[in-house]
């Protein structure tokens, strides 16, 4: 069973797959939320994101439903004696 997804993705590819802007992906990289590797030898960075790191990022951002509240029962206590 082969995985059709590439091992490394560019920020524009990540932005397109998540339907966000490229600047948002760059902000996630700068803040350290999304791990990326700089493959450039010049002053201007060129980032590549491992597919496994993207999976970890998405799993950390997953929304979990709130816990189901415990329903309290009323005691049947007569008001007037």
**Tens-place pLDDT, residues 20-48:** 999 999 999 999 999 999 999 988 899 99
Distance CA 34, CA 32 (A): 5
Residue 80 forms part of a structural domain? no
Mean pLDDT over the full length of the chain: 88
Name the pTM for this structure.
Answer: 0.71
Burial 9-47 (b: 16+ CB within 10 A, else e): bbbebbbeeeeeeeeebbebbeeeebebeeeeeeeeeeb
Domain range for 54 is: 8-60
Residue 67 forms part of a structural domain? no
Report how many domains make up the chain: 1
Inform me whether the pLDDT recorded for 63 exceeds 70. yes
Residue 71 forms part of a structural domain? no
């Amino acid at each position: 069973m082969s995985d059709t997804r590439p091992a490394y993705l560019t920020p524009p590819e990540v932005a397109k797959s998540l339907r966000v802007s490229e600047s948002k992906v760059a902000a996630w990289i700068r803040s350290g939320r999304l791990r990326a590797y700089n493959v450039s030898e010049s002053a201007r960075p060129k980032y590549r994101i491992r597919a496994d790191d993207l999976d970890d990022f998405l799993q950390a951002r997953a929304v979990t439903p709130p816990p189901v509240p415990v329903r309290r029962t009323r005691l049947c206590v007569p008001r007037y004696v």
